[in-house]
Every structure is written in C-alpha cells, then in structure tokens.
C-alpha cells in the first residue's frame, strides 16, 4: 500500500497508441515548463487544462477502453457487505497509516507520536493521526469530576464544570499545532536520514470548537494591571506555561471539540487551551487552571526548555508564533519514485502569523523558484496544501519549497537560520528542507 501512494498516476506505454502513457514526456510539456528541473506551470492540473495544454490529449487516462470493458465482477460484488459499526475505522488495507513513536520503558507516556504526512493528503489531520506530545502520559480524566478554575488578578474567581462551560457561546477555528521541537534534527551538522514523519511529524491541523478565553475573562473581571495568564494542565506532568494576556484576549480558545468530536484524550480531553499559531507547548492540554498575573511565572517549560540557546550563550525567551514554514510531503524522504514521467509535487505550508500568501518550489536545488498552486480555502494559522506539476526526466533532482506569509516574511534557508541562531537553538527550526531524488528515484534528506 505504501508504494502505491507515490507512484506515477498512469501506467506504462500501451499498444493502443491513442492513449499516451504518462511516461511519454519528451517534448509533450515543453510549452508548460516554467523552470529548471522540469517544473511545469501550476495551472496544468486545474480544471481540464491538462488535456488542452498538451498535444497528446488525455494524458491522465491510465487504461484503455478495451480494459475497462473487461473489468468483470469482483468477489466483493457477489455477496452482501458487512454490517454497521458504532465508531468507524479506516479500511484494514490502510493499516500502515499510523503515528510512530518510541516508548521509553520507564515512562511509556513521555515523548511524542508523529503524524505520517507522507501517507496523507488534504490539510486537516484526522483525530487518530494528530501528533501527540505528552510529558507524562495521557490521564484518564472523569469529565464530570474535572474543573476549570479562573482566578488570580480578577474581581470574581470562577470555577467551571464541563457542562457549565458548554453553555457559553462556542466558536470554531481551524488551526495547526506544531511542537517547538519539530524538525529539530535539522539543526544537526549532517542531514539525518529519516522519513518526513520522523523529521517533521510534530505538526498537525484540526478544526477546533469551544469557548473563547476572552468570554470567561470578561466574566471574571480582569484587573487593569494584569498582563499574563498562567495555564496549568491536569496530567501527572501538571504541564504549565505563562501566556500573554493579549493573546488570551485576541483569539485563545478553550477547545472542547476537535474536528467535530470531543477532543481526544491524547490531545487534551476534556478541554485544552488553543493558542492559534503559537508553539505547541503553550497550548496546555487537560486545562484545569487559568491564573491571571502581572508577569510570567517562569515555569520549567519557558526557562530551561522551549527557549532558543544562541551562540552567545544567552537564550532567547518567549518566542511564541511559529514563523512561516513549508515541507514537501510528496515525494519525500524514504519514498521511491517509479520511473520518469508526470508527477504532482505536493506539500504543506503554515505560519503562526496569519495566512500563507505564496509557496515556491524548486526542482533544481534552489536556482529557479516557480510558484505552486495553493489549495483553498486558505485559512490563517492553518496548514495550507500546495501542489505543483512536475515532469521528471529521470535524472537527479533536488526538491525544495519556500513559504511566504501575509506579513511578507519569507521562509529562510537552513544556512541563513544557522548563521542567525546557531546550531544549539534546538527549537523552532523553520529553514527550507531539501529532498534529493536519485536517478533510481530514491528520495533522501539532504542539505542544500
């Protein structure tokens, strides 16, 4: 199954010359070439343009009319199918599309489970595949016994049951969550050989529904001298962070639902703090306490961890929004391309500072950068899918993607990031990632 997800979309040359095999690329796409390495105009795959753009007609037809007639009746059409199930599961043939994790023997719930981006398409992460980072396991929280406390510099301290909270006006917003440690391996001197799941699997995106923090703070009555809010989770790590009051008032949410169903235990059941665009660590899961303060509390995860250690030996603290970033998911490290021909390069881009305005792709190691097609709806602080047609001629290629967000910020090269921050920064790596494609079609991780 893994193989079939990244293969040519057609079949090899047929005897029937009316249907041109997708690997017959010589000369066919010349009019659509926009850059080095065989990148084609982004409009090629849009509404019928493919047929019109080429002399060959229906390039994507993988099979002949004769074959279509010979389909026959497969066994699964000859008897009734199985019955209904209460909670649906993916096809048993998709059993490889799972999160990966390395459990530690002494603390099996400490660490991370990563999203398999190379096996997925679209922009929303299904709940069962949303990455998970937990500092001390997933607690088994009784939703009726769970309480959310709002106290500190407020006129009226409040306590909420889940039921009480659910009576407040709710809203939905789509947002990515990315761990500050995602892509951290790219700080290393040599490119680590891992697939995209291992290297960049700590980012996911969901539609979250819940109550605005602003609504609760307004009810509690915030002291005019307050500037920060301390948030604490109800797990054995009691994970806690300080959040600027301004972010809490702007778009923070107590999320109760994730893609329409209750937030999963791995992602914060029964409620989590959602801070769209901010680093994952601050988005406290299993939220049980908000304490309004006039300064950060200097919790462990904002001092010794999740700060950027610079070359000078000083640490950069309170680095909150994730800066614009992108990764090519198809093809990506570890996958093998099956022969030259027409492919669709595809990937994900995101920015904690708003909308993605542009993604450029290079197939010649960064010499030319045509624009990719962005898949709508393009939502702020959400994963944005991009696509780019590519006529691979079978020779070695280096693929890269570069995101620009609505502020004009451009995703930097790895080299630039290393000069600016140094190799010890550890968190928030957002440099341009590169995949090398060999003449055998093998895709591996390289530095430009």
Ligand X SMILES: Nc1nc2c(c(=O)[nH]1)N[C@H]1C(S)=C(S)[C@@H](COP(=O)(O)O)O[C@H]1N2
Q: Check binding of 325 to ligand X (CB under 6 A).
A: no
- Residue choice 39, 138, 239, 397 for contact with ligand X (CB under 6 A): 239
Residues near Mo ion, by CB under 5 A: 133, 179, 280-281
Q: Which is nearer to ligand X, 114 or 402 (CB)?
A: 114
Which region among 2-10, 234-242, 328-336, 386-394 touches ligand X (by CB under 6 A)?
234-242
Q: Are residues 51 and 14 in contact, defined by beta-carbon separation less than 8 angstroms? A: no
- Residue choice 40, 138, 148, 177 for contact with ligand X (CB under 6 A): 177
β-sheet bridge partners, residue 138: none
- Residue choice 44, 237, 345, 434 for contact with ligand X (CB under 6 A): 237
- Count of residues in contact with ligand X, rule CB under 6 A: 20
Q: Check binding of 379 to ligand X (CB under 6 A).
A: no
- Could you tell me which residues come within 8 angstroms of residue 147 by beta carbon, excluding any fewer than 6 positions away? 159, 160, 161, 288
Q: Which is nearer to Mo ion, 23 or 279 (CB)?
A: 279
Q: Which is nearer to Mo ion, 10 or 280 (CB)?
A: 280
Q: Which is nearer to ligand X, 197 or 373 (CB)?
A: 197
We find the least distance from the C-beta atom of residue 300 to ligand X, in angstroms, to be 12
Rg (CA), the chain: 24
We find the least distance from the C-beta atom of residue 265 to ligand X, in angstroms, to be 10
Q: Check binding of 183 to ligand X (CB under 6 A).
A: no
Q: Which is nearer to ligand X, 143 or 396 (CB)?
A: 143
Q: Which is nearer to Mo ion, 134 or 362 (CB)?
A: 134
- Gap between the Cα atoms of 184 and 179, Å rounded: 10
- Gap between the Cα atoms of 58 and 20, Å rounded: 8
- Gap between the Cα atoms of 324 and 440, Å rounded: 32
Q: Are residues 375 and 427 in contact, defined by beta-carbon separation less than 8 angstroms? A: no
Phi, psi of 149 (to 5 degrees): -105, 135
Residue 408 token pair: 């004009």
Binding map of ligand X across residues 257-286, x = CB under 6 A, - = no contact: ----------xx-----------xx-xxxx
Q: Are residues 227 and 318 in contact, defined by beta-carbon separation less than 8 angstroms? A: no
CB hemisphere CA count around 175 (13 angstroms): 27
Q: Which is nearer to ligand X, 276 or 280 (CB)?
A: 280
Phi, psi of 92 (to 5 degrees): -65, -20
Q: Is the peptide bond before 199 cis (omega within 30 degrees of 0)?
A: no
Name the residue with the smallest CB distance to Mo ion.
Answer: 179
- Could you tell me which residues come within 8 angstroms of residue 318 by beta carbon, excluding any fewer than 6 positions away? 296, 302
- Residue choice 54, 97, 125, 134 for contact with ligand X (CB under 6 A): 134
Q: Are residues 157 and 263 in contact, defined by beta-carbon separation less than 8 angstroms? A: no
Q: Check binding of 132 to ligand X (CB under 6 A).
A: yes
Q: Check binding of 428 to ligand X (CB under 6 A).
A: no
Q: Check binding of 255 to ligand X (CB under 6 A).
A: no
Give the residues lining the site for ligand X (CB under 6 A).
130-135, 177, 179, 233, 235, 237, 239, 267-268, 280-281, 283-286
């Amino acid at each position: 199954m893994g193989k079939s997800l990244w293969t040519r979309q057609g079949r090899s040359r047929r005897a029937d010359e009316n249907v041109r095999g997708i690997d017959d690329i010589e000369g066919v796409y010349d009019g659509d070439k926009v850059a080095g390495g065989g990148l084609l105009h982004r409009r090629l795959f849009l509404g019928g343009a493919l047929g019109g753009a080429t002399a060959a007609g229906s390039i994507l037809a993988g099979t002949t009319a004769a074959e279509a007639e010979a389909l026959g009746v497969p066994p699964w059409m000859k008897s009734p199918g199985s019955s209904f199930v209460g909670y649906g599961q993916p096809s048993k043939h998709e059993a490889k599309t799972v999160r990966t994790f390395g459990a530690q023997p002494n603390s099996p719930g400490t660490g991370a489970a990563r999203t398999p981006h190379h096996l997925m398409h679209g922009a929303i992460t299904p709940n069962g595949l949303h990455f998970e980072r937990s500092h001390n396991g997933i607690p088994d929280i009784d939703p009726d016994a769970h309480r959310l406390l709002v106290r500190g510099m407020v006129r009226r301290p409040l306590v909420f049951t889940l039921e009480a909270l659910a009576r407040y006006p709710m809203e939905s917003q789509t947002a990515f969550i990315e761990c500050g440690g995602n892509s951290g391996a790219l700080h290393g001197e040599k490119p680590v050989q891992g697939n995209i799941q291992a290297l960049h699997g700590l980012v996911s995106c969901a539609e979250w529904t819940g109550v605005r923090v602003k609504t609760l703070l307004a009810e509690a009555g915030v002291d005019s001298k307050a500037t920060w809010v301390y948030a604490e989770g109800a797990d054995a790590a009691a994970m806690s962070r300080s959040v600027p009051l301004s972010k809490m008032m702007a778009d923070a949410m107590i999320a109760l639902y994730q893609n329409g169903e209750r937030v999963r235990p791995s992602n914060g059941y029964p409620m989590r703090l959602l801070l769209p665009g901010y680093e994952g660590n601050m988005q406290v899961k299993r939220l049980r306490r908000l304490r309004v303060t006039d300064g950060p509390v200097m919790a462990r995860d904002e001092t010794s961890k999740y700060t950027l250690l610079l070359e000078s030996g000083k640490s950069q603290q309170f680095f909150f929004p994730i800066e614009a970033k992108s990764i090519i998911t198809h093809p990506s490290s570890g996958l093998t391309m099956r022969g030259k021909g027409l492919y669709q390069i595809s990937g994900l881009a995101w920015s904690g500072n708003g909308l993605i305005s542009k993604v450029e792709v290079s197939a010649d190691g960064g010499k030319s950068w045509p624009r990719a097609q962005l898949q709508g709806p393009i939502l702020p602080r959400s994963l944005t899918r991009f696509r780019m047609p590519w006529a691979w001629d079978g020779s070695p290629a280096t693929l890269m993607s570069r995101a620009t967000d609505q502020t004009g910020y451009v995703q930097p090269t790895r080299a630039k990031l290393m000069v600016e921050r140094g190799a010890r920064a550890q968190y928030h790596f957002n440099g341009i990632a590169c995949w090398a494609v060999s003449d055998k079609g093998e895709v591996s991780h390289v530095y430009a």
